[in-house]
Structure 1
Amino acid sequence: MALLYRAELRPSKLDLLTAWLPTRPWFAGTAGADVTRVAAYRFDDPAGEVGIETLLVRAGDGPILQVPLTYRGAPLAGADQWLVGTTEHSVLGPRWVYDACADPVYPPVLAAAVLAGAGQAEEYFEVDGRREVRPRNMTVTGGHAGAVEPPAVGAPREVVDGDPTLIRADHVELAVVRRPALGQPSSDACLTGTWPGQTTPLALAYAVPR
């Protein structure tokens, strides 16, 4: 479960993405245009230390872009090239925001979703000592590739930043679809999603045959 805070971020996530997205090779849209949020989903960090959120956004009138992010309370060593930016969280303090594809916490949870059907995190606030669940604004469905458990996946050995973005880790290669659309690969080893206005499931990520 993902604990959320009724907090203010300065700059906001969307402000960070407005500056960062046009620097990516897979960017499509209007550079400099405000980035708007379409939907989002989260995964749990088993250690409970890192926030893992995937945003679906668009820049101006461009297509929907998928942007997995991680939120950390301290810089991630050796990951400067994957830093989206820093922000001040009114409850948690400084936060370092990274492209999740290069963050070691992300490949294991993505592999669990793609290969073994692990679900998205339930999001909640704590209100007067009780949990208040936030309704989901999109639904993701994981694959079932026949394995009881996904293979052990460690930190990414290589990240190829394109569309799809390829995450090469021990025992598995994962592809993150940056511009979800009809016609993307779909298989038993695939994560799909639906959201308001998109009732046909679209592939969000999949395992690359090796």
Structure 2
Amino acid sequence: MALIHHTTLKPTKVELLAGWLPTRPWYHGPAAPELTRAGGFRLDDPAGEVGIEFMVVTDGPAACLVPLTYRGAPLPGAEHALVGTMEHGVLGTRWAYDGCHDPVLTGALLALIEGRAEAQAQSVTDTPDREVARSYTGAGPVPALGAPVDTDESTEFPVPDGDGLVLRLRRVLTAGATAPDGAVGQVTGAWDRPDGSRARGLFAALERR
């Protein structure tokens, strides 16, 4: 169970992302975005060492999903995935990574899809997020994921031993989007629109190529 500390972060997560998002191939907004934190959820690291968060940020009507991990020390070999560092009021220096390149997050995402893990509220300790829904119709556990590849709308993980499976994590969110026909697993969630209404759409899908 991840313990949520209500304390200061310098810079804030949104400030970090404002500088990092424009460098991503799936981001199509302005060079200097004015981001709003609009939703998301957390997952627990079974070892209790790594913070795992799926954050939704908006700039006007555009919404992006950003999976992040927070570590107390650099992740070896993941320099290319570093979003930045923050000073946490309780935990000290935290290294924030694009979680698609962190095996702790990808393992937790598979566990969520398969029903072995439960989505947790972003800002409340030990509280399930009931707005996150998942399903899985596969015959057994998903084999290990391959290296992530960014496209213009998603990050894709091939499943080398998965008989043509690919996990597509949506980076650009669309209200009302659903998993394609033939998908064997999916995660959906919700976020705030700028007008105060609530949107819902597809976060990730386990599909056949």
TM-score range, shorter chain: 0.7 to 0.9
- d(CA) in 2 for partners of 1:124 and 1:66? 17
Q: CA deviation at 1:81?
A: 0.8
Q: SS in structure 2 opposite 1:95?
A: strand
1:154-195 CA-to-partner distances (Å, cap 9, x unmatched) read xx5411012220123554532110112134534441111124
Could you say if the C-alpha distance between residues 121 and 58 of structure 1 is closer, same or farther in structure 2, counting changes exceeding 3 Å?
same
Deviates more, 1:23-32 or 1:13-22: 23-32
| Structure 1 counterpart of 2:142 | 151
For 1:11, the equivalent position in structure 2 comes to 11
RMSD: 2.4
Instruction: Quote the residue 1:179 is aligned against.
Output: 172
Structure 2 unaligned blocks of 5 or more:
none
How many Å apart are 1:5 and its aligned residue? 0.4
Alpha-carbon distance change, 133 to 105 in structure 1, aligned in 2, over 3 angstroms: closer
Cα contact 2:44–2:52 (8 A) shared by 1: yes
Corresponding residue for 1:129? Answer: none
The number of residue pairs the alignment matches comes to 198
TM-score, length-scaled by structure 1: 0.83
**Per-residue deviation, residues 16-48 of structure 1 (Å, max 9, x unmatched):** 000000000011222213211111200111111
2-side partners of 1:150 and 1:8: how far apart?
39
Query: Is contact 1:29–1:62 with CA below 8 Å preserved after alignment?
Result: no
Residue 69 of structure 1: aligned partner: 68
Within a 5 Å distance, the mapping from 1:1-210 to structure 2 comes to 1-59=1-59, 61-116=60-115, 118-122=117-121, 136=129, 139-147=131-139, 150-153=141-144, 157-162=146-151, 163-168=153-158, 171-172=161-162, 173-181=166-174, 182-186=176-180, 187-196=183-192, 197-198=197-198, 201-209=200-208
Which runs of no fewer than 5 residues in structure 1 stay unpaired?
126-131
Looking at structure 2, the residues matched to 98 and 55 of structure 1 have their Cα atoms a distance apart, in angstroms, of 12
Residues 47 and 105 of structure 1, relative CA distance in 2, 3 Å threshold = same
2:49 alignment partner, SS class: coil
Q: How far does residue 104 in structure 1 lie from its aligned partner after superposition? A: 0.8
Alpha-carbon distance, 1:90 to partner: 0.9
Does the Cα contact within 8 Å between 1:36 and 1:58 map onto a contact in 2? yes
Query: Could you tell me how far apart the structure 2 residues matched to 1:11 and 1:113 are?
Result: 30
C-alpha distance in 2, partners of 1:133/1:124? 10
Of all paired residues, the percent bearing the same amino acid is: 39
TM-score (norm 2): 0.83
